[in-house]
């Protein structure tokens, strides 16, 4: 398995403050194979359960797009007995400590939304967000978990390490000037993203101010990931997103 991001690869027992510092500098911290095979197997079972049950009940939250399906789940509304491993994985002490250090406050909503993402192979790259290189208009601290071996061929997320610093300035200036960030041009053209590759169980943590994009899942391949979105309570209130943490 290739690792094109040795400079941001960290040991599983790294200190939370060191992890936060890495993300401040590079926009990402990578932990290849962080979760055990047993945990990954159980996450895959719950992944299928999430999507199958949402489909069966015609859940309006289930988003179908050109490349697959996405299901956003409010973590605090999750049936813990039905999805115990997902709840445990995205509620880890390490994640909480890194997020509080990075965001500079204990008043956070840790992984308040968990996205269950399945993408299937397509004939050619999809030329729209979130597949284009971009940074998020609303600052979000994300925890990604790969549920299968993930390479460039099956849609590894791409990132431009270090770009978070400049993009953060663009977003914050727009927020100070206009009181919102809805109109800022956040698609980044003519940049080369590095694929975040890793075996099943890989965890990476990143700031969405870093330029990133969903990878191209080639025909005959699939991409299965879960990602948690973490924001400060103040940021949720600023953007009217409190309902995502209830």
| pTM to 2 decimal places | 0.94
Q: Is 152 exposed, middle or buried (0-12, 13-18, 19+ CB in 10 A)?
A: middle
DSSP state of 193: P
Q: What is the pLDDT of residues 136-159, one digit of tens each?
A: 999 999 999 999 999 999 999 999
User: CA dihedral defined by 170, 175, 178, 180, rounded to 10 degrees?
Assistant: 120
Task: Determine the Cα–Cα distance for residues 72 and 198; give it in Å rounded to an integer.
Answer: 23
Q: What is the mean pLDDT of residues 217-226?
A: 95
Q: Is the peptide bond before 196 cis (omega within 30 degrees of 0)?
A: no
Q: Can you give the C-alpha Rg of the chain in angstroms?
A: 17
The confidence score (pLDDT) of residue 1 equals 58
Task: Determine the Cα–Cα distance for residues 115 and 108; give it in Å rounded to an integer.
Answer: 18
The angle that helices 164-178 and 16-26 make with each other, rounded to 10 degrees, is 80
Task: Determine the Cα–Cα distance for residues 88 and 123; give it in Å rounded to an integer.
Answer: 37
78 is written with which tokens?
């999750």
Say whether domain 14-245 belongs to CATH 2.60.120.620.
Answer: yes
The confidence score (pLDDT) of residue 117 equals 96
Q: What is the pLDDT of residues 235-245, one digit of tens each?
A: 999 888 888 87
Q: Is the pLDDT of residue 2 over 80?
A: no
Residue 97's pLDDT band, with cuts at 50, 70 and 90, is very high
Q: Where are the domains of the chain?
A: 14-245
């Amino acid at each position: 398995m290739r690792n094109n991001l040795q400079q941001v690869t960290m040991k599983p027992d790294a200190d939370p403050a060191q992890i936060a510092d890495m993300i401040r500098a590079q926009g990402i911290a990578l932990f290849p194979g962080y979760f055990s095979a047993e945990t990954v197997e159980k996450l895959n079972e719950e992944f299928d359960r999430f999507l199958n049950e949402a489909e069966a009940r015609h859940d309006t939250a289930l988003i179908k797009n050109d490349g697959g399906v996405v299901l956003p789940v409010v973590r605090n509304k999750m049936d813990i007995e039905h999805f115990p491993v997902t709840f445990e994985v995205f509620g880890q002490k390490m994640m909480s400590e890194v997020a509080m250090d990075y965001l500079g406050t204990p008043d956070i909503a840790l992984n308040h939304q968990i996205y269950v993402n399945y993408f299937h192979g397509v004939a050619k790259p999809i030329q729209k967000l979130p597949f284009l290189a971009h940074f998020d208009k609303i600052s979000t601290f994300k925890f990604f978990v790969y549920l299968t071996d993930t390479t460039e061929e099956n849609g590894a997320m791409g990132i431009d390490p270090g770009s978070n610093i400049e993009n953060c300035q663009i977003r914050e200036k727009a927020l100070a000037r206009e009181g919102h960030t809805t109109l800022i041009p956040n698609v980044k053209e003519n940049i080369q993203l590095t694929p975040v590759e890793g075996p099943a169980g890989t965890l990476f943590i990143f700031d969405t101010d870093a330029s990133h994009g969903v990878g191209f899942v080639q025909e005959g391949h699939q991409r299965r990931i879960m990602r948690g979105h973490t924001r400060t309570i103040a940021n949720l209130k600023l953007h009217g997103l409190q309902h995502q943490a209830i």
